[in-house]
Amino acid sequence: MKHRYLIRYYGCTLQVLKSKLHWIMILEFCKCTLKDKLISVDHQNPGKVDESLQQQPKLEMARYASQICQGLEFLHSRDLMHRDLKLENVLVCMHLIFVYLYFLNRL
């Protein structure tokens, strides 16, 4: 599946570490999650953060929300849904948002 706001999945591999089998996904590299970008490490709940302490301006957050919606709209048009959409599962590369697709289900 290819879309501007969905992270690229290149494949997977199995690896044995300390006698345990691990499934490793190979994805497009992204520097951080949306949680890293929007919430200061000192605050757990972004709704309770004073506006002066927010790390990103509201206009940038609105752009991120729009990109997430466009990615989800693409998934929904293919009868797919994301089961675990949260800040940690939205990855940021440069100024683009990518929805992490591991949590997909058919509608």
Q: List, for residues 20-42, the tens digit of each pLDDT value.
A: 999 888 888 888 888 887 776 66
Q: How far apart are CA 40 and CA 90, in angstroms?
A: 16
Task: Give first-to-last CA distance, the chain, whole Å.
Answer: 16
Please name every residue paired with 22 in a beta bridge, in sequence order, or none if there are none.
15
pLDDT (mean) for 50-57: 58
* Encoded amino acid at 10, one letter: Y
pTM above 0.85, yes or no: no
* Sign (positive or negative) of CA dihedral 39, 57, 33, 82: positive
Q: How confident is the model at residue 77 (pLDDT cuts 50, 70, 90)?
A: very high
Provide the mean pLDDT of the chain: 78
Query: Is-contact 98 91, C-beta < 8 A?
Result: yes
* CB within 8 Å of 94: residues ≥ 6 apart: none
